[in-house]
A and B are shown apart, each in its own frame.
Chain A
Amino acid sequence: MSSSNEILKKANHSKNIITYTVVALIFFIALFLSSQSDGPSKFPKEITDQFTFTAWVNEGEDFLKKNYRWITKIIANYIKASYYFVEDFLLESPWILITAIIFLPCMIAGGLRLGLYSLFVIYFWGATGMWEPSLQTVALMGLSVILCVFFGFILGVLCSQSDRFDNFMKPILDTMQVMPAFVYLFPAVFFFGIGGAPAILATMIYAMPPIIRLTNTGIRQVPDQTIESATSFGSSKLQLLFKIKIPLSLPSLMMGINQVIMMALALVVLACFIGAEGIGGQVWQAIRRLDVGWAMEGGLCILFMAIMFDRFSMAFSKTEERLPSDVQKFYLLPQGWAKYQVARLFEKPLSITHAIIKYICLFITNLIAYFFKSLISIFNKTSAENIREFISKRYYIIPSFLVFFLIVLVDTYFLKIGSFPEEWRLSIRQPITNAVESLTVNPGFISFAKGLRAFVYLNLLRPLDVFFTHIPWWYTMAVFVALGYITVGIRFAIITALLLLFIGACGIWSQSMITLSSVLVSVALCFVIGVPLGIIASYNERFRNIQNVVLDAMQTLPYFCYLIPVLMFFGGGIVSAVLATVIYSIPPIIRLTSLGLTQVSGTYSEVSRSFGGTLIQTLNKVKFPLAVPSLVIGFNQTVILAFAMQIVTPLIGGKGLGLEVFNGLARSDTGRGLAAGIGIVLLAIIIDRITLAWTKKQRNALGL
């Protein structure tokens, strides 16, 4: 037994040595080749001249514009009409009604805490003077989410029913998520006009994939036994789908809705570039005027909104499992505080109010239910009873509607309520602006910033840029293809070769290498900063909780908000671009490091400790190897986010494919923009597939 282990170990050892040698060899050949070439590597001109992808796209676009614009206009008009419908409703209603419409459902679904939080959010919108833009964003987002859920659900069900369709959709979904929105945002203007309609469609492209994926997996994960017993009772395929599979996959669907809301919010901000109104426009105007405070206020409006919708949809999907409010002792304070006298005193009035409100609600609802029952029982006894039951079960929702109608009545006949009162204004612009400005002139901080800028530029970005752009294209391609072959297989290797040939043939080889190097530098920085933070978080729960809040904020805050401070501290250019990318793409690596380390079951570390392993040893030899799959997923997501950010960095001096997209769009050259956008997608997909396949192997090796 022990001897065979030893042989295995030795074999492993020698295999490791061979791998390292090969990697080192490949690297040194690359180094040699890149130092030999005297300029950036160029794809053969014969191929790039022959392959006029951009011209084809532009011709295709012209054809579509000429012949199919009337169809898209009709679609756009439908969407526009429904958008204006919602928007007008939100903007012209009295503010108290809007408050009630948001507050009451939050309260009912999430309890007093969520209710109070939603009040705070609404107050914040009004107090910062962003009442209208916030509601416009809500309208835009709400409509996109509804459409996304509708179409995403249908597509998801189709995916779950047919493996072929599923395989067909997978790469499309990947592309939808990674393809920079800017690429399709501007051409959309010609087909769908400006403002709400194209913004909603663009949001759908970007935000639909999660719901399709989650519906699909939700339906596929319905246990076999359930299906078996349903079939044995003689249910047909359709019955099986609609009565068993879909209801059982609802939790997963709800999670999809949650994701859609988050992603829709992210894109609604970008939509300001095609004339969609809302907070995005505010933030962009603030940035044009370098008003950090204003931009931050807009960003916080979105952040708070996102948290509210997130918590609401979570609470909504959990309703069944929630404790009945009678068992729940406390409404506002943590349940564990029940042992403190003060806390009990504090909560006493709350529970009394709750009882009163509940009593009133029940009373009113029963009254209504009784009324309907007696009305309908004239015609049909059983349906009358059903309706009574239906109404009286909803003893919070029905009174809520009464409240809405009451407010509308008061507004129209007695007292014009109007929009959010001006005198409740409270601005936090000045303090934020002042803080940023004082940091800008702080000599210590600036010398730190300058040092960081010099370090990143001289030691990371410039060498890597030169290295990547100067390696001959065929060598880089060969390395990627080999990697694809080793990790995934021959089919993927061929696909990789074709994809890279496409990039080269479009004449954007050197730009894509610049993009690759800035992504790698950003990801490396994310790794160096993120992994230690993740480790600390895995050991200290309080640190983790605080960090989670910060990470949530970083992911939801529109990236426009932190671009200006980054520029003021670091100056425009590729270093700023890299730093902005790091801020945007670091959260997954931190989260998944800490998740991976905490998930390593306690027994493993216990065993290691009992054998006398130190903290470092346990971490290094036991926990890390076991957490590798989770780490790689974090790394993977970070890479995808870093690629996604490449489209934004040209706004602050970034180079590479993102800039190419912008240049194409500035000249109204859709083909050029699209080619560069596809370049980003292809690089991201290649790296994503390789790392995923590698994790799978690792997982299998560890027997997880």
Chain B
Amino acid sequence: MKLTKTISALFLSMVLLIGSLGQANAAKRLHAAIADWTGGIITCEVAVAILEREYGYKVKQTVFPSGTGLWEAIAAGEIDFACESWPSYAEADSVMLNEDLIYEGKVVGSYSGDGSVDLLGTSGIIGLSDYWIPRYAAEEFGIKTWKDLNKHKAKFATIETGKRGRLIGCPVAGWNCHDQKRLDILGIDFQADELGTEAAAIAEAKAAYMRKEPFMLYLWSPHWFFGEFDMVGVQLPDHKVCDPDTFTEAGNWKDCGKKGWPGTGWAKDYTMNYGNPAVFAKSENAEAKKFFENMSLQNIDQAKMLVEVDIKKRPVKEVVAEWLDNNPDKWKPWLK
């Protein structure tokens, strides 16, 4: 009984205290997701910082790992917007978007889903995925393209792969990279291992690089890894789609071998920002919607900030604020 009384007393005093502390705040509010990879975090922080500085928004940010869960949260109105979705990896975009993706006036992709998520516009970042090996290995073995890989496969082998080489593959099956399929079509005698998370793949690659061991890694650029470690791409064949393009996952592929995906490399990823349709249809958010249509952060700028954040370990907010202060000519045009 003593316990319950103490607790109730504590609770009552808390209520009193909060009464004295509470204050109302009436700013325009948005709720953004913070991505779980640094590039995405920076892109979003740029958008958030401009919304707060120039349009007087108060943006609440929540760390939310990207994936279908995030798309559902946006559709459900739990989160108002998120940044830098990569079309090659997103699962939900074809189901939930219903708009054209425009980059510098050109239509680079079109969607015909149910429109439960609003395509706010391109983020400006163009992503590219490839297989990468460290420069020291490329130079030591004389590997120039993917065609040279088979000769040196034994050096890339591990205990699990036996005689075949090991590719630290696309970490998540849901991303639809089809690594093993690609390797088989191209005749590269490697085994693609899915490690489950980007962190796992990068951790193994980083450790191998520190020990100067040869390894092959699937990765996308821009990525902080390239700022810290010297990697070269194996130059997979240029991206082509199978014609007629009947590839669906459910119907398994209509295999066209080396003539089309996944026998080729990835397409360029014109990344985009996306948000809740109801929120951005409100008149009070018209300015924000306009801003997102114009926003176009360049790869080179993101890469510079990536180095500051990930290698020099500076806080994201500070780095982005500094970039905004020093480069008004780059982002002022987005405000018109």
Contacts and interface: CB of A to CB of B under 8 A. Distances in A.
B36 A277 contact: no
Contacts of A289: 38, 224, 310
B112 interface: no
Chain B: number of interface residues, binned into ranges: 35 or more
Interface string B166-203: 00100011100000000000000000011111111111
Contact of A277 (B63, B168, B199): B63
B207 A568 contact: yes
B54 interface: no
Contacts of A663: 173-174
B204 A571 contact: yes
A667 to B, nearest CB: 6
A272 B17 CA distance: 29
A446 interface: yes
B42 interface: no
A275 B173 CA distance: 22
A408 B91 contact: no
A662 B196 contact: yes
A189 B33 contact: no
B67 interface: yes
B235 interface: no
Nearest to B225: A290
A660 to B, nearest CB: 10
Contact of B203 (A97, A281, A284, A568): A568
Interface string B292-336: 000000000000000000100100000000000000000000000
A653 B193 CA distance: 8
B38 A667 contact: no
Contacts of B17: 89, 93, 97, 404, 408
A454 interface: yes
Contact of B210 (A275, A316, A437, A453): A437
B159 A457 contact: yes
A440 B213 CA distance: 12
Interface string B203-222: 11011101100000000000
Chain A interface main SS type: helix
Interface stretch (B6-14, B149-157, B271-279): B6-14
A220 B105 CA distance: 74
Contact of B196 (A397, A412, A569, A654): A654
B299 to A, nearest CB: 20
A666 B174 contact: yes
B78 A189 contact: yes
A519 to B, nearest CB: 18
Contacts of A281: 63
A315 interface: no
Nearest to A398: B9
A668 B68 contact: yes
Contacts, number: 162
B21 A274 contact: no
B55 interface: no
Nearest to B22: A88
Interface stretch (B69-77, B117-125, B251-259): B69-77
Given A401-B13, A408-B17, A412-B20, A277 B198 contact: no
Contacts of A440: 207, 210-211
Interface in A358-408: 397, 401, 404-405, 408
A567 B204 contact: yes
Nearest to B63: A281
B62 interface: yes
Contact of A666 (B3, B91, B199): B91
B204 A666 contact: no
A567 B207 CA distance: 8
Contacts of B22: 88
Interface stretch (A190-198, A550-558, A629-637): A190-198
Contacts of A568: 203-204, 206-207
Contacts of A659: 173, 196
A687 interface: no
B18 interface: yes
17 contacts: A88-B18, A93-B17, A189-B76, A194-B79, A247-B1, A273-B69, A287-B199, A288-B198, A289-B310, A290-B199, A290-B202, A316-B3, A440-B210, A567-B203, A653-B194, A662-B173, A666-B67
Interface of A: 85, 88-89, 92-93, 97, 186, 189-190, 193-195, 247, 272-275, 277, 281, 284-285, 287-291, 316, 397, 401, 404-405, 408, 412, 437, 440-441, 446, 450, 453-454, 457-458, 563-564, 567-569, 571-575, 649-654, 659, 662-663, 665-668
Query: Which 7 A/B pairs are nearest by Cβ-Cβ distance?
Result: A666-B174, A572-B195, A567-B203, A568-B207, A281-B63, A653-B195, A668-B68
Given A272-B63, A575-B160, 8 more contacts: A89-B14, A194-B64, A194-B78, A275-B62, A437-B210, A563-B200, A573-B193, A668-B92
